[in-house]
Amino acid sequence: MAEDVYPLTLKPDLAEAAQRYEAYYAGQIIDRPLVQVTAPRNPQFRDWYSPTYRDTVYGDMDTVLDRVLESAENTYYGGEAVPAFYPSFGPDAVAVFCGAELRWNDTSGDTNWSVPFVESWEQSLPLCLREDHPLWQRQLEFYRLAAQRLEGKMLLRCLDWHTNMDLLAAVRGPERLCLDLVEQPEMVAEAMKSARTLFPKLWNAVVEAGRMRERGFCNALYSMHSADILQCDFGAMISPAMFRRYALPALEEEAAIVKNVYYHWDGPSQLIHEDLLCGSQGIYTLQFQMGAGHGDPIDWLDLYQRVQSKGKAVHFWGSPDELKAAHQHLRPEKVLYTTEVGSVKEAEDLLRWFARNT
């Protein structure tokens, strides 16, 4: 409940934000939709910092946390924006914790990925979390240290959950997994059973290390109340029938653990799963990532309206003017808006605009 919210010095109105999140998850609003707006508190501050994957994997943890906290202290978190730290090691971290090699390429910027290692499902199952893996141990230690260092100032975000079929694609390789779905579908089903046993273990270990049950935690949106981000990027490569058989049951199982799920719906090729996602259990907010060359959220209002009409909430981000334009078309109780502005005054003016125009 909002009155039990863990207090944060960098978000003094956290209890009020929590009330708005509670209304959102109940399909209601108080006086305006959810609006996450950030702005610089100190116009002179220049050392803005968001840790890279190389920082979190190789960097000194105390130094990373010092810089994260300094940036947060110079940021205004308006509306439902919440200061939070994300210690992700990369999108394929779960595969690495299961034994895959973490691979980097200097020509690919900060991106990393895992090297597939499954040559035979029969010989590789069950998939297991390598408890003694040095990166898994570092991940947990990062959460423990962050919980201590950011106490009363910032919340923590969970891992980049590329579990379910994304995990299979990472350890087998997406091309070979596609062939497996045709040539040995029952082995894929067995592999999915194995993958599904891992999520609760990972979830509980991370939540415990970060003391998030007592402190609260955030998802990629800086949302609250046990909400976290789930996804299945491999869904872009399979039919709705395959998605229904393999991916959706796993996602709904994960959603039953996480609650109030935010789903990262990645790319136009995944639009074929619209009806399945809109009819899913446990997924509350859909965030459609249109991808490069496919416009911006403002260009996809018809999709957002359709998703809302089918019962799901949507995430819309853009400039303040784009948010105002979208507000004329989207149901306010089923949308979460995100933007950045140049000053605290602009942020507060935007929040007042939404309250007057809802």
CA neighbor of 85 nearest in space, from 119, 61, 116, 117: 61
* 3 pLDDT more than 80: no
Read off φ and ψ for residue 340, nearest 5 degrees: -125, 145
pTM: 0.93
* 132 pLDDT more than 80: yes
156, 85 contact by CB (below 8 A): yes
CA neighbor of 112 nearest in space, from 99, 127, 96, 97: 96
Kindly indicate the confidence band of residue 141, based on its pLDDT and cuts at 50, 70 and 90: very high
Residue 295, class by beta-carbon neighbours within 10 Å (0-12 exposed, 13-18 middle, 19+ buried)?
A: exposed
15, 2 contact by CB (below 8 A): yes
What integer pLDDT is reported at residue 5 of this predicted model?
Answer: 67
What integer pLDDT is reported at residue 227 of this predicted model?
Answer: 45
Kindly indicate the confidence band of residue 204, based on its pLDDT and cuts at 50, 70 and 90: very high
Q: Which residue has the higher pLDDT, 248 or 108?
A: 248
Length of the chain: 358
The CATH number of the domain holding residue 99 is 3.20.20.210
What is residue 328's three-state secondary structure? coil
Beta-bridged to residue 35, according to DSSP, are 337
Distance CA 305, CA 301 (A): 6
For 14, the domain range is: 2-356
The long-range contacts involving 54-63, CB below 8 angstroms and separated by at least 24 positions, are 54/104, 54/110, 56/87, 56/88, 56/89, 56/142, 57/89, 57/90, 57/102, 57/112, 57/135, 57/138, 61/141, 61/142, 61/145, 61/146, 62/145, 62/149
CB-based contacts of 175: which residues, under 8 Å, 6+ apart? none
Q: Mean of the per-residue pLDDT values for the chain?
A: 93
Domain count, the chain: 1
What spatial distance separates the first Cα and last Cα of the chain, rounded to whole Å?
A: 25
Distance CA 243, CA 224 (A): 28
> Among residues of the chain, what percentage have pLDDT more than 70?
95
CB-based contacts of 200: which residues, under 8 Å, 6+ apart? 257
What integer pLDDT is reported at residue 222 of this predicted model?
Answer: 42
The DSSP call for residue 32 is S
